[in-house]
Structure 1
Amino acid sequence: MPQNRRFVLASRPEGEASAQNFRLETVETPALSDGQVLVRHHYLSLDPYMRGRMNEGKSYAAPQPLGEVMIGGTVGEVVESRHPRFAAGDKVQGMGGWQEWSVVDANQPGMLRKVDDSRVPLSHYLGAVGMPGVTGWYGLNRIIEPKPGKTVTVSAASGAVGSAVGVLAKARGCRAVGIAGGAEKCRYVVEELGFDACIDYREHPDLGSLSKALKQACPDGIDGHFENVGGMILDAVMLRSSAFARVALCGMIAGYDGQPIPLRHPQLILTNRMRVEGFIVSEHLDVWPEALAELGELVGSGRFRPRETVASGIEAAPEAFLGLLRGRNFGKQLVKLA
């Protein structure tokens, strides 16, 4: 059996996370028992939710245990199988974590899923045709409930979740307006993803300026908003929201390092009779087949062209993750392992 390099959580961050919070280990891969599958990971997904799991405080999921392999989605290939539903050579998606190999109990529901990489590149099953894409699909369709001609905005619009929201909103006849950091990301959002407009928040560093830019991009107001960031961006969106606007609250990356994220005008929720709803996509497994089917068709047909930032080798994972939290990635952040 192969040796396995893996990252475990060595310590909990105090404020901003650092590379010292992780520890690289090399361990022996155990022999398989009946019902188990050995998977060689090709790609590891890095996602903002991992930062919250590093904390010990109360959240929607249990904290990442110290000394154990960091949580994370993976895609790869079955190398050896002692389960009748899986064979060597199968391409699979699972939650293998920050490591090169994993031994998976395939009898546990949802632990491992076969994927077809003939039309959709394997890496996209961690992004546009994976958990981030389904996250965008659920927030848009089940919370925002878009209608043709209405305006939908999304923060972190060039990212794995935000890009899916915009493409799906356009497919439903909406005006899609993104918010992203930097001219290159904004060009991609408009020219390649097909958004109607994209606002560079770096050019609008204060609430007044960002709110004015949103007014110009959304002259009829904002009917639905998908929030990945929080802070000033959410404040600006609320100032421009229409009556009965709906907000799908997916992430608050502005506060992942522990600082408070005050809301400046909470009274607008009442004034505009807004619906603001947070959600965790893993609690809505019933929608995954429908969402993945639509997203797979959009990517396979070329109508959705997701971007990826790919780091190389397991040793690159901590710095790539820290870069993700600081907005240095362009599109989905991955680590190539094989």
Structure 2
Amino acid sequence: MDFADVSLTALRVFRAVAEQGTFTAAAAALGYTQSAVSRQIASLERTAGTKLLERRREGVRLTAAGRVVMRHAAVVLDEIDTTARELSGLPAPGGTVRLGWLPTAGTTIVPHALAELRRDDPNIHVISREGGTNTLARALRSGSIDLALLSSAPPFRAPDSESPPLVLQTLTERALCLAVPQAHPLARGDFVDVADLYGQQWIAGPPSAADLVMGVWPGLDERPEVVHTARDWLAKLHLVAAGCGLTTVPSALTPAAPPGVRILTVRGGPQEQRRLLLARLPGPPAEAVVRVGNALRTAALATTAPEA
């Protein structure tokens, strides 16, 4: 097999498929057609002389050969990105850490941690990206990121069933809350009873395999009336402020709520706790990874506020 003619495009497509879990999702993330993604993967597998991806009904998973190629592809792509930065006149970082984070972590914990690192460890260069828990777990497995902030809900299972297990540390565990318009009848009290949530209008995230009605209170035995769909948490909160409906939020987002929104706890049903996890692959981490992890832990403690 001869990898001399393998293109960077093929490696980037391969990484995207490994992270996104399906050809369709990878095509959407890259702005390609699905057929273009399929051609790049087929070309790479012909060069390797073996299957790099195991096709399953629920998506794809790296084969043993695929993990080997992904490990080296990640190194090559990182080197290319580093070269591009240096050619652009940016200083070479003393240590580069690739971080993946959930959208909710981007409002508080990640900015606090990056500010601390700029102050205390200016030679550490953090490259970060936003994503969902499933996507970020796959990115860790493929070697394209070093650390990830993931979420977990009861019964708090591991983010994937791959072996060896990811190294996980709980940074926060807090109750899921409800965002209510200031003028809404439910905003008059200090909490909301779960029985009062039936028949409400909801602002939810787009459908996904992980959670079909993200933004609707879990466990309601009725078909929810979703009147607005928004991916961005702050967009959902501003829709709440405009009186357009209710949405669920992690309590960590309380400081980010705009005027016109009350963040309330919900009583009368099972406790809906949410954990924020710091995840990495097993094995001794690099010193820069350790320092970024420490900054994230410090930021999580600093931004932990009493429940509303």
Q: TM-score range by the shorter chain?
A: under 0.3
Give the greater-gyration-radius structure (CA): 2
Structure 1 length normalisation: TM-score?
Answer: 0.26
> If the length of structure 2 is used for normalisation, what is the TM-score?
0.27
